[in-house]
Amino acid sequence: MARRVAFAIPGDIETRTGGYAYDRRIITELRQLGWQVDVVGVGDDFPMPGEGQVAMALQRLLAAPADRPMLIDGLALGVLPEAAAALRQTRPLVALVHHPLACETGLTPAAAERLRVSERAALAAVHRVVATSEATAELLVESFGVPRERLHVIPPGTDPMPQAAGSGSDQLRLLSVAAIVPRKGFDVLVEALSTLTDLPWQLTIAGDRGRDPGTVERLEALIARHGLIRRIECPGAVSSERLAALYAGADLFVLASHFEGYGMAYAEAIAYGLPIVGTTGGAIPQTVPASASRLVPPGDVAALAHAMREVMADADCRRALSAGARAAAAKLPSWEHSGEAFARLLGRLA
């Protein structure tokens, strides 16, 4: 008999973000290991669904066959505590937490607290919780009351990549890869770069422009105010082929995230052997070794500018960090390993 699991996912699984990329790849790996994965769509508007959306999500979840474990992406689970309580009565229930919803940048204190209470209740109802990093697991224990014995850390895998060739010129190509949302700190990055106009650089920000139009509008206004329109390109979400070309042609990866539950774009940059300037937000220091990077506190414009100037102005420094990235790339987890870890967990619950 085939091993089966239901995987509940909000929104469009083809969305180009790290979380959805993780979900897609885990589904692929499980299927290659002989699992039948039934994707249950719970609708859009998460993590801020209306009452009708919540009711529809609960109906779809309860309609899924009860003879198999159910894995629910945390983007939805965190605001469905009642559904989690109902589902756990009839089937093994697993939460997949990419990063806690309350840790999203830009929330009001009241909204963050509502999400914290809701997610804490939802996580209390499930049988197992998967976190994508040790840092996120520790946060779930300390701030959300998840017992350590119910936690499993299954990090994203990273595919081996060829060494980035770089721009091959004095005009440094900087690359950021992330959806344009407050948590990714693009306003901090632009403010820092506005103090480095004496250096030769061009920045490409590759990431979804549709998730938060207000943030995109403010970012474009900030770029214009600093006179950086000709230096900063924001093409939106790009194809896999275009993204690979951007990594291969970059000289430096830069990202000013306020928080990351793992940091898949950082890991991809390491796989390409790119030097990195980033922050210490969330799990980033666990994902990005000091030998490959300069990491500064989130939100610190002056520290970020100083770190970027140090790396951009010194070719020897970039070569040293690149060598550190290449060494670190060999130690990154594989998708096969992550898929096997999921299969073992689900097999024990089936």
Q: Which residue has tokens 């959306």?
A: 53
Residue the block writes with tokens 């939802």: 122
Residues 307, 182, 201, 320: what is their CA dihedral angle, to the nearest 10 degrees?
Answer: 40
pLDDT tens readout for residues 100-115: 999 999 999 999 999 9
Whole-number average pLDDT of the chain = 95
CA 322, 324, 330, 331 torsion: positive or negative? Answer: negative
User: pLDDT over 90 for what percent of the chain?
Assistant: 92
CATH 3.40.50.2000 fits 172-329, yes or no: yes
Could you tell me which residue, 47 or 74, shows the higher pLDDT? 74
Return the ∠ at Cα 210 (arms to 303 and 175), rounded to 5°. 40
Give 299's contacts (C-beta < 8 A, 6+ positions apart): 185, 188, 256, 258, 279
pTM for the full predicted model: 0.93
What integer pLDDT is reported at residue 1 of this predicted model? Answer: 45
Query: Nearest to residue 150, comparing CAs of 125, 170, 177?
Result: 125
> What is the third-level CATH fold of 3-157+333-349?
Rossmann fold (3.40.50)
List the domain boundaries for the chain: 3-157+333-349, 172-329
Asked, colleague to colleague, whether 3-157+333-349 and 172-329 share their fold, the answer is yes
Q: Is the pLDDT of residue 16 over 90?
A: no
Mean pLDDT for 113-140 is 97
The packing angle between helices 18-32 and 335-349, to 10°, is 70
Q: Which of 99, 101, 125 is nearest to 112 (CA)?
A: 101
